[in-house]
Structure 1
Amino acid sequence: MPEATYPPTYNPHLLPELVAKPWLRELSPAVTLLHCKVIDTEAGKLLDGMRTVKLRAGKIVSIDKGGETANIGGKNVVDVEGRYICPGLIDCHVHIIHAPGEASIASMRTVPRELVTLRSTYVLKSMLKRGFTTIRDLGGANKMIANAIEEGIIEGPRLLQCGYVISQTGGHGDSLPGISGGSGEGCCGHVYSSGRTADGVPAVLRAVREELKGGADFIKLMIGGGVASPYDALESVQFTRDEVRAATETAWNSGRKMCTAHAYTVDAIIHAIENGVRGIEHGNILDKPTAEMMAEKGIWLTPTLATYGAFTRPPFDKHLPPSGMEKNKMVMEKGLASLKIAHDAGVQICFGTDLLNSMHALQTEEFTIRSIVLESKDILRQATCNAGKMLGYEGKLGVLKPDAIADLIVLEKNPLEDIKILDRPEENLVAVIKEGRLISGSLPAFPA
């Protein structure tokens, strides 16, 4: 028996996990996709002819006409057999901590933060398998979760997040009990929360700076009333001019970070825009003059229509109190008309869903709802290149071109002809590829 030594010796090449972060993977290998029908989302049309798409190290290297296996070599060559290649989808309004597991919004607010985070991993994985390779979280997610996805600890779409949303006391983001006016300034804690309260310029400045310090990619302000919040009327306009200005100027001066605003009504939207907000979430009750102002100023709009219909159907029709159901009815009835008004005015529009609990399974229904008033090419643009531009990834996300990130989905049918095929992923979604790696689906010969 050989004599033991202390400390033992080892071969680091045989034990690659003896590093600080053993879960990190090397960049994805080179892959060539043959016989692709490539969708140009910016132009709203197919590129002419069959294309060969080359991927390497998580990016698109080239998109060329023709190209047969014999001319390329057999290693990591995948024949997609004339299927449609589309950029990975982008949902610009999600809440991953609003995860399944509870029967109502009220019961969600009692769940420990650690459990909420664990449950969110289910939401993330499900979204990715539906073809969403990038998401923008509008309250509750944080930089730690985003980093865990980026490093490969958990599986999910690329995540951009605002940390906690910022609300005035009694506003849409205030989830504290309404007993004797509540219990003061609120932030975070050990149970579920997607928001924090801040009243007055100093408190708003601190809240914004703390979220940015925590790694927020942007800031979200609650500027108007909400459907699910118990204390505020839908028509309310929240925060003072100085408070909003304090937030938007601080965010912009801290690395040109964008502020976006929860706002349904014309008054709330105008209040937000006049004080430096660059994005509007929802916007269900806007009118033509407001839409024209948004277009002129380059303000982004992210409607979220799927969630309102979900609240009217079992088992979600008991999630809201009667007052919430009345507000939900109002915004649902006006949402499609406002979407059409904004589109016709030339507003920059993105795709969003804002779903809660098990409603996340209805994420792709947003495509079908928007198709009632918009053409397929416009909706696809909202879920790809428009979203990529708003997120600061113009030319990198939501497009298929050289040097773009290799996020793409393989489809049986052409979404430019009928966007509703994206609402049937079980029939039409062949594969999901994120940064050059096959995440789900079946493509023979695709490297692991």
Structure 2
Amino acid sequence: LPRLAIKPWIKAPPEDLILTNARVVQPSTASLLSGNQTILIKNGKIVSVGPSEARKSDDDIKTVDLKGAYVCPGLIDCHVHATAVPGVKVQLLSHEVTHGLLTSTCAAMLLRGFTTVRDTGGASRRIALAIEGLIQGPRLIQCGKALTDGCGHGDSSPGVSGGASSTGCCGGHAVGLSRVADGVPEVLKAAREELKAGADFIKIMVGGGVASETDAIETIQYTAEEIRAITTTCRQMVTAHAYTVDAIRHAIDNGVLGIEHGNLI
């Protein structure tokens, strides 16, 4: 048998297409290209865009008449949580169940026009690779689990005097969108483990949130030493969950290159 015949998981080559009579949106000028346009797609990439009346027919390529429908470049969402299944507390789900449910979430994102999304806690490289050939979804840029300190934004363990029994070894655990790591050795280990697992960047929680019980929004989380340990040792793009000016300044002063939210500047 041919080699591909025994590898059904390998993605089939994309079909070449000609889209005719399209109204093409030009975001850079907030306008439409003049008149109906024809879009030539080969090997999964747009090769050309031009007036429909100037385009010659090609019997070897499938042609779709859009009849004046609008076409725009793919949208990009820079902050999503693909594993946060709507209507379900993600920390109550196993990874297997979460990964099964997110297939519909990713497909819905793509059908809404998002061709690239940046997941800031919860998704993994495994999901990104699955989208490349097994499931429908937008291109996925991900950080794996976000890092949070104990009692910080992202620590969903129960608050128990004397310590929660579910925190696992060495003060760290991983549930849902984030993982707990306290102290320089543990934050370094956690960051390195996420990078080893294929994270495209590292996310840390530097301030409180609005959707969690034990961290007021004005709190500052992680010490300067902990943040600098991550930003100077990992040599990777590090972004921080931070709402307030104090949290944002704390992150930037210690080498963080990106800020998520920043609503209270």
TM-score, length of structure 2 as denominator length:
0.89
Deviation string for 1:338-384 (max 9, x for gaps)?
xxxxxxxxxxxxxxxxxxxxxxxxxxxxxxxxxxxxxxxxxxxxxxx
Give 1:258's aligned residue: 237
Is residue 2:105 matched to residue 1:123?
A: yes
Mapped to 2, the partners of 1:249 and 1:78 lie a distance apart of 52
Mapped to 2, the partners of 1:109 and 1:36 lie a distance apart of 44
Alignment coverage as a number of residue pairs: 259
Is residue 2:221 matched to residue 1:238?
A: yes
Shift of 1:37: 2.3
Is residue 2:62 matched to residue 1:83?
A: no
Give 2:6's aligned residue: 18
Shift of 1:141: 0.9
Q: Which has the higher contact order (CA 8 A, sep 6+)?
A: 1
SS in structure 2 opposite 1:280? strand
2:149–2:181 contact (8 Å) kept in structure 1: yes
Is residue 2:97 matched to residue 1:96?
A: no
Gaps of 5+ in 1: 1-11, 287-448
Give 2:184's aligned residue: 201
Is residue 2:52 matched to residue 1:52?
A: no
Alignment of 1:238-387 (within 5 A): 238-251=221-234, 253=235, 257-286=236-265
Mapped to 2, the partners of 1:227 and 1:215 lie a distance apart of 29
2:172–2:186 contact (8 Å) kept in structure 1: no
Q: 1:174 aligns with which of 130, 155, 168?
A: 155
Give 2:136's aligned residue: 155
Shift of 1:161: 0.9
Mapped to 1, the partners of 2:27 and 2:184 lie a distance apart of 42
Shift of 1:143: 0.6
Shift of 1:101: 5.8
SS in structure 2 opposite 1:42? helix
Deviation string for 1:393-438 (max 9, x for gaps)?
xxxxxxxxxxxxxxxxxxxxxxxxxxxxxxxxxxxxxxxxxxxxxx
Deviation string for 1:173-223 (max 9, x for gaps)?
2112221243452232xxx52111222222222111111110001111101
Distance 1:241 1:131, change over 3 A: same
1:29–1:56 contact (8 Å) kept in structure 2: yes
Which amino acid in the other structure matches residue 216 of structure 1? A
RMSD: 2.0
Q: Which has the higher helix share?
A: 1
Deviation string for 1:75-129 (max 9, x for gaps)?
3122222222101222221112211463xx3xx4232221122111121122222
Which amino acid in the other structure matches residue 113 of structure 1? H
Mapped to 2, the partners of 1:113 and 1:29 lie a distance apart of 34
1:34–1:68 contact (8 Å) kept in structure 2: no
Mapped to 2, the partners of 1:97 and 1:126 lie a distance apart of 13
Deviation string for 1:147-170 (max 9, x for gaps)?
11112x222222111100001111
Alignment of 1:68-79 (within 5 A): 71-74=56-59, 75-79=61-65
Q: 2:212 aligns with which of 220, 229, 235?
A: 229
Deviation string for 1:23-53 (max 9, x for gaps)?
2223313212222222222333223343222
Mapped to 2, the partners of 1:101 and 1:17 lie a distance apart of 41
1:209–1:250 contact (8 Å) kept in structure 2: no
Shift of 1:68: 5.0
1:208–1:250 contact (8 Å) kept in structure 2: no
Which amino acid in the other structure matches residue 156 of structure 2? S
Mapped to 2, the partners of 1:136 and 1:225 lie a distance apart of 21
Mapped to 2, the partners of 1:25 and 1:122 lie a distance apart of 19
Distance 1:187 1:28, change over 3 A: same
Mapped to 2, the partners of 1:65 and 1:242 lie a distance apart of 59
Give 2:17's aligned residue: 31
Q: Which moved more, 1:27-36 or 1:263-272?
A: 27-36
